[in-house]
A and B are shown apart, each in its own frame.
Chain A
Amino acid sequence: MRRFWPRFTSQRAGLAAAAYVLVLTLVMLGLQVMPGSDPHTITSEVMLPPSAAHPLGTDELGRDVLLGILHGIRVSLTVGFAAALGATLIGVLVGALAGFYGGILDLLCMRVSELFQVVPSFILAAVIVALSGPGLPQVVAVIALLGWPQVARLMRAEVMRIKHLEFVDAVRCLGTRETRILMGEIVPNALAPVLAAGTLIVGHAILLEAGLSFFGLSSADIISWGRMLNSGQRFLFNAWWLSVFPGSAIFLTVLAFNLLGDALGSALNPRSAGMK
């Protein structure tokens, strides 16, 4: 575990992804502190291609695309992180209980998780949003609900491996309660790969949010990349910049979180590179 840092930094793609995410976060925080000009401002400079004044051009209402993309970071990151956090929490809890206690509980948890895994995620998301109305909390809830099974399966496998290690028995021989063994000894050791999987969910969440927005299933007053892409695709042939830039932002960010997840995964896995 101590050798996490050198193992992580030896992976260039992961390092670049981490830098990218850091920049996104800083920009987002910067805009919270100093909002600058309102991205909703409608001007007469309609559908201008990229220029010095508007590096990424303007849309059909004269709004600056760059400003929109920068403000869109907030939605993407918030949804991504909140959903990943929710999915990871549920997944860790279910996986730990199923893996540790086994038996009927395990069977039940795993069947339920399969149920969630076979439902087509986008359609479920669309149905829920259609029923409960658009809004970020709904999107977060849907993604968390769909994302936990993979975390749970990973957690369960780790817990099942670790519970047979001898240090667990050693602690048991000290008269420690089972719940404390699970929470104090097993779960902390099982978390590493699970956190890497959680990072991957951030990417999925951003993509799903963009997809929902693209189909108009998010509230109109929130600027998000998906929404920008949605309104831009009508002008794909006469104003390419309205589709290409939001699309690239989504692509890069999802890619970054996937790379970050992979890099974390192999850096946290003691059996991967760097070991004899």
Chain B
Amino acid sequence: MSSTILEMSDLTLSYTTLGRKLRALRGVSLSVGEGEAVGLVGESGSGKSTVARVALGLTPASVAQIETGCIRIDGRDVTHLSEDAWATLRGHPIAIVFQDPLSFLNPVMRVSRQIAESVKQHTPELAVAPRVRELLERVKLSASCAASYPHELSGGMRQRVLLAIAIACRPKLLIADEPTTALDVTTQAEILALLEELRVGLNMALLLISHDLGLVASACERIYVMYAGRTVEWGPTAKVFGAPAHPYSEGLLHAAQTDRDRDGRFVTIAGDPPDLAHIGVGCAFAPRCSYAMAPCTEGMPEPIALAQSSNHMVRCWRYCQGGSLLLSANGRVDRP
């Protein structure tokens, strides 16, 4: 078993703005091992971007408080790290790329110089130029692109520049927050292929955060599904997408495939996404859930392994009864 680079256990985090408290994360458990490709799927407001930010200590301490749970990076507890201490962790061992590269690039500096700036932090002066060339090669950017300004490049090119900057510090984990959402489908496929190549070539773990199930399914070995600030289901991609256990994952999967029922209507999840300001103690999905039972509004069950030896986990009362699992003799789950 490889070592774990990033681990969050039952993390809760709330934002306080103008005297109002909003709990963005309500119980996130997540781990990314060495060289592993992990996906984090959720809709807008599910807290998936907050996960990315908190993993790099980018949630401003003035408005965001971690209430319970902990974050570990390389086995070290970083839950309550100071701003200065966080700065030493960014870039290495953890780097990040965002959805919109343009806002992270300096508009009046040639991109090659911006890559060099990042390289300089970890490399002696003489080795900078060859290292920049190597990085450009890794992300497949031509020399003419490197000599351009950010606005002269296409969205895909810019994302490559950002990737070059991110891998400059040889991170052990790259967090990609909606890296292809702003891109066209054909470019999207290229960036995805590049991410995979970098991951394998550099033995770097990848945490891919996206609302696009197809994207995550094709790039990740394991996935986490988030709803209203909680990880509700996780496991190997094939298992989670092949036999989704949480009603939300199930609905999401059908919706994403634009499946249609017998009347030709599109399969969908009824109701509206949750308003984070008004969620009770129970399962946030209960109001939209067709399987909702009495305990659903009263609390959230602990993660349950779906088969005895499996790493496919779910947090749903359907698989509990008075605290015990609804497992039949052969270890498979009985669907109530």
Contact = CB atoms under 8 A, between A and B. Distances in A.
Contacts of B82: none
B234 to A, nearest CB: 26
10 contacts: A3-B18, A6-B18, A6-B19, A7-B18, A10-B18, A10-B19, A273-B17, A273-B18, A274-B17, A274-B18
Interface of B: 17-19
A7 B19 CA distance: 10
Interface string A6-48: 1100100000000000000000000000000000000000000
Interface in A26-81: none
A244 B9 CA distance: 64
Contacts of B19: 6, 10
Interface of A: 3, 6-7, 10, 273-274
Contacts of A3: 18
Contacts of A7: 18
Nearest to A275: B17
A45 to B, nearest CB: 53
A7 B17 CA distance: 10
A85 B82 CA distance: 50
A6 B17 CA distance: 11
B63 to A, nearest CB: 10
Contacts of B17: 273-274
Nearest to B22: A276
A109 B19 CA distance: 44
B292 to A, nearest CB: 29
Given A3-B18, A6-B19, A273-B18, 7 more contacts: A6-B18, A7-B18, A10-B18, A10-B19, A273-B17, A274-B17, A274-B18
Contacts of A274: 17-18
Nearest to B45: A276
B17 to A, nearest CB: 6
A220 B66 CA distance: 66
A6 B19 CA distance: 9
A273 B17 CA distance: 9
Contacts of B18: 3, 6-7, 10, 273-274
Nearest to A274: B18
B126 to A, nearest CB: 44
A7 B20 CA distance: 12
B148 to A, nearest CB: 28
A274 B16 CA distance: 9
A273 B19 CA distance: 12
A128 B19 CA distance: 51
A10 B18 CA distance: 7
Nearest to B20: A6
Contacts of A273: 17-18
8 cross-chain pairs, A with B, having the tightest CB-CB distances, nearest first: A274-B18, A6-B18, A274-B17, A10-B18, A7-B18, A6-B19, A10-B19, A273-B17
Contacts of A10: 18-19
A10 B20 CA distance: 12
A250 B17 CA distance: 36
A273 B18 CA distance: 9
Nearest to B24: A276
A2 B17 CA distance: 16
Nearest to A9: B18
A65 to B, nearest CB: 43
A274 B18 CA distance: 6
Nearest to B15: A276
A71 B17 CA distance: 43
B22 to A, nearest CB: 9
